[in-house]
Structures are given as C-alpha cells and as structure tokens.
Structure 1
Amino acid sequence: MARRPPSETQKAERAEQLEHLHAQIADKVANLTTSGQWQAWLRVASRFHQYSFNNTILIWTQRPDATLVAGYTTWQKSFHRQVTRGEHGIRILAPVTRRLPKLKPDGTPVLDDKGKPVMATQIVGVKPTSVFDISQTTGDPVPEPPRPALLTGRAPEGLWQSLASLVHAQGFRLERGDCRGANGYTDYTSRTVKVRDDVDDAQAVKTLAHELGHVLLHQPTTDGAPVCRDRREVEAESVAYLVTAAHGLDSSQYTFTYVACWAEQALPHHKEGTTIADVIHTTGNRVLKTAHQILDATAAPDNTQPIGQALTEAVTRNVAADRTALLLEEAGSPVALQAAAISRPAHQVEVSRSSLRRGSSPAAPPR
C-alpha cells in the first residue's frame, strides 16, 4: 500500500508534540539524577581512579570481564573489601609524581607574590603497579550504578520492518545476534547494524531505532568536528524515545536512565555551570530533525493519524504522571514514590561488563 505523506497541519501538530516530549526528557532525567540511588553511586564512583586509555587496554587484555577496578589499599580502606587470597593483580602503569617549580614558556620559574617559586605536582615517569577487579575481592557490598530496565512485550506492528528498511536505505546491513554485552551496535567500517536476538520485540525495536539514530546522525565524515560519544548516545537514545512514542511504544523506563548516564558523563566536556538539562537541550534540533525524518518514512500506509494519536497519548500520559506525583508529594502521601515511579521507575541495576571507565559518573549502560 502507498504511503500518504502527512499534511502540513499534521506535520505542525507532530512537531509540537515531539518538542514537548523532548523537553520532558530533560526534566525527567534531571529529576532522576537527584535520586538517592543515583547520588549513592556517584559517591562511590568518585573514589575510583580514572584510568588512561593505555591502562584501560592493559586491564582489558588481562581481565576482559573486569567491571570495577581499584588498588589493594583502596579496596581495604575505602570500601572495606579484602582481595581474595591467591588472586593475581592486573598490572598497569601508575604515574610517578614530584613537586617541581612551575615554569613559564621561557623556562623561568613562576613566582608568587612573595617572590617564591610556585610549586606544582608533575608527572615525571611511570611505574608498574597492580590493581584488582571487584570480582577478586570480598567484603561489604558496593552500591551499583542505576541501570535501565529492558523493555518487555510486543512492538508496534510493522515498525521493525519500517526501521529496517531505513537502515538498508542508508547502505547498512542489519543482523541479529550476540552484541558483546550491549543491546546493539553500529559498525561504520563494515556498515553493519546489529541487534541482540535474546530480548523481547519491544526492546529490539527500541534498540533498532537507537542504532538508526546513530546511522543518520553520526556517520564519520571528513568535514566538521566529530561529536563526542557522550553526546552521540544522548542524541541516539532521544531519537529512539521520540520515534517509539510516536508509534505508541513507551520506552521511558529505559530511556530516562540511559540518557541520564551519558548526560552525566558529558558534563565535564561542557563549560562550568552546564546542567544535564542543558546537555539535552543542545541536542534538540538534531534529535527533532532526525525523529521527523524517521517518522516521515514509518507512517502507517495511507494513514498518518495513528502517529498523531500516539504522540498525543504519550504527552498526556507523561504530563498526567508528573501531576499525580506532584499532588501526592505535596500531600505527603506515603505512596508518592510509587506515583513518581510512573515517570521515573525504580530500575533494576547491574554492573556493566563492557565499561572500564570509572570516575564521577555512573557507568554507561549498553544500548
């Protein structure tokens, strides 16, 4: 059946609804990252050393399943955990530092207001040292990062096929199978999009929409600066949320936690004072343009009204959830957290085995 393009009125209504949903991503993600569970993890994550790229490779080659890595003393003193007897350390390179005078470009020392050299800690070399993964230790439990819960159930009829057609139209091959710990990935070199085959249809479609966002937004080009990974993930998942919402599939239980993880990691790359909401809003034009591009190609044959209805229902559902949570919270109701969970559900947590990057933010989740 032929696809009838949406009318100008329908396009305008859809644009307004998508903009409303995109604004809600920022609001809900900002609220999520103030939760007690999230803050508990941030306090833990701040104690882990941020490893260099070379050390990340060293860790991966020696222990590919490593998740949380720290030194012997750090495990003991900061986390009250003991390295199990007989465990072999993961060898990495630790910096050797010294306090040396800070120098000007001409080689002369920088002096303070009293005429004394200003001292600074500088790396003068490296030395081998050992660290241990959490799986090599026992003791007190360590709070885990909030993780998005996989979607369950059926996907909207025909949406997988429509998204797959767009992937093929961009010159990419679509596969199902093992994704090495992720829910999906896009390989620009082999021009392959892969989605894991052991999840429900709803999750598979959401992941495919995410990967299609990468295909349309993030293919490497010779012109223009590349977008950092944190922003790429925020953009792709936001596109997936808007597209699935337009087709009547609510992926908020996955999207908000996923976007929060990556938006948190994007903050250090922005100027001081930037908030998570700012990070999400800066992606708005690209996200909305891509969502419209996908929805123009995935509208139901001869009928675009179902998408408009689904968007309206999605916006109404999210607004109603926010109002209900607010009213109960103001009333001091003991079920306020349950109402808030409509839009910010309590997510199942698990430690990512695919991420070794540790610092001041939660571990990035698989797609």
Structure 2
Amino acid sequence: MTAAPSLLHKLKNMSLVTQILIGLLAGIALALVLPDAARSTAFIGKVFVSALKAVAPILVFILVMASIANHRHGQETHIRPILFLYLLGTFAAAVVAVIASMLFPSTLVLVTHDVAVTAPGGISEVLQSLLLSAVDNPISALMNANFIGVLTWAIGMGIAIRHAGQTTRTVLDDLSNGVTLIVRVVIRFAPLGIFGLVASTLATSGFGALLGYLQLLAVLLGSMLFVALVMNPAIVYWKLRRNPYPLVFTCLRESGITAFFTRSSAANIPVNLELSKRLGLHEDTYSVSIPLGATINMAGAAITITVLTLAAVHTLGITVDIPTAILLSVVAAICACGASGVAGGSLLLIPLACSLFGIPSEVAMQVVAVGFIIGVLQDSAETALNSSTDVLFTAAACMAQEEQAQRAA
C-alpha cells in the first residue's frame, strides 16, 4: 500500500520538465501498444490546450495593464532592444531558410486537397487586418484571443489608470497576482495534457503521411534546428558576450517542449510568462514582450513560408536570385503578425509569398495543402522555435541591460 503513495510523492517532487518528459514517453508507449485507447486521450489534451487558451487573453490583459499602471516614472524597460532582436532573429531565420532551400531544393507533388483556408490577398490586406485587430472591441478581443487588440486595450487602460489613485493600482496588482496563480495551477497539469496530445496524435495521424515529403521536412526541420542551436545562440552571444547555451537550452526545454505539443504560441504565453518570472527578468518588460513576441516574433514562420514557397518556385522552374528570395520571404514573414497565433497560422501567408513570385493562387493553395499534410511536425517545430525564442531574446535583452547597469555603477 505504501508503494503507490511513495511513487506519487516522487513524481510530485520531480521538476515540471521531468514530469512532462514522463508524460511524453507514456503517450508514445500508449499509442504504440494500445492505439484505440490512445485515441480516446485526445479529450485530455484538448482540455489542457483549451484551459491555456482560455486563461491567456485575460492574463495578458491584466498583467500588461497592471505593469503599465504601476510603472514608476523613470523606471527602465527594455522593449526596444527586444524588438530589435525579434526582427533580427526573423531576418536571420529567413536567410537560413533561403540558403537551405538553395542548397537542397525540394520538389512538391502539387495535388488539390479539400482544405478550408481563407488566405490574405496581399500585403495591404494583411496590414489592414492588423489595424482592425488593434481597434477591435475589447470584449471581442478577449473572447477571440485577438492579442493585438488585447495588447492595445491593455496598454491604453494601463496608461489611463496610472493617473488613478494608489488604491486602484494596488487592487489591479492584486488582481494580476490572482490571475497568475490560476495560470500556475493550469500549467501544473501540463504533463497530463502533453500525455493526451502525444498519444492521440500518434495514434490518429502517425507518420505515414509524412514519408512522401521527407526531404522537404528535412529542410524545414534542419533549418529550424540550425536557427535554434546555432543562429539564436550567436545572436545571444553577441548581446551578452558569454556562453549562451545554458540560457538557450533552458528556454528550449521549459518553453519549447510545451509549445511543440500545444502547437499554439498564444496557448504558450502563460508558460513563457512563468519561465520569465523564474529567470528573474524585469516584469514590466516581459509582461509586454512575451505576448508581443507571440504575435510578431516569427522566426519559425519565416522558415516555413520561405521553404515551402521556394519549393514551389523550384517545382515550377522559376528562377529567383538569393537577395530577392530573402527580401520577399522576410516581407511575408513580418506580415505573419497579421495571422493568428494558432496552429497552422503561418500557412495562411504562403499564398501571399507565392503571389510575390508570380505564382497563381490555385497553385499556392496546393502548397498550403502540402503544409497541412506535414503540419504534424512542421507546425509543432515552428511553434517551439517561435515561442522559446520569445523568452530567449527577452532574457538576453534584460540580462544585457542589467550587466551594463552594473558596470556603470
């Protein structure tokens, strides 16, 4: 009788990452041994992802509003260097994807699939959509997880409440702490949620559909790994001037793993905020930069859009030089902030990128269909890269600023 409580006690005392890895291995084992039972665990995964998505908008709204309302005049924040790192990382990812696509050109079998997708018709349409998202009704923005709108209203309300009395700001700060506590409770169920997601995905989809696109997947995943393990550490080293890998591996382990299986940058916002707090980062900074990064830090999207578009370019025999490919791919990737932070969001930008190369929409939509076929791995890896990089660049900017302040003192 004491063996079971002892085992549960040991599991409880393990780190969250270790518990998630156990859930991951258990999910794989269940999918291999009892696939029918594994399919039934999809509900567990959906509950976990739904809980994260439900708490994320209200968390961002309250946390950003409280941070700005309680911001002391003259207190330093580091949003500008973080934005620069976001843009630099997106550009670097596009360059890596272009080079990989040129070195290992992929050919697609462009077949029509029944995929219901509404893609933007051009850059102007994406920018208009972005502006409309920013001025969305606040209730609608919270209900639909429109983080551009949530951020806009949170910033506006935060600035307005800065002129309110101290009691109002204290209440807002207490409300922020209360929502954060709820988020911690949700995150504690991550091992169970990951177990359900992994078991049901492997049992339902498997990897049979991916065999026909092994080279394309290799280019995509190889580019993302190169950015995560080489390019991003190089950027962090340039910023901090010290070994970046402890920080890189921490972000990949504690943010990338959950993002890989939830496949949603929006759902991973609570995870990243909690990690930023544990890293001891500046709260006024990460409370804004993390939700902002979930919508505009698109290194993974840059790779997906670039690789799939250039695969279509190669298939159709279109000649494009490297500078043009990089420029057009980066433009499309930056516009990806107009797409939602949910699974498959970057695929909606492929028709836009293809149109910049003169590829007709009929063909572009077939490329999107290919993206959905390989999305089991592509979108998971993309989200893991995007979300972990949000914390990585936020931490790098905050740490660099703190070290500079210490040297000045």
TM category, shorter: under 0.3
TM-score, scaled relative to structure 1: 0.27
Which structure: greater strand fraction? Answer: 1
Larger radius of gyration between Structure 1 and Structure 2: 1
TM-score, scaled relative to structure 2: 0.25
RCO comparison, higher one (Cα < 8 Å, 6+)? 2
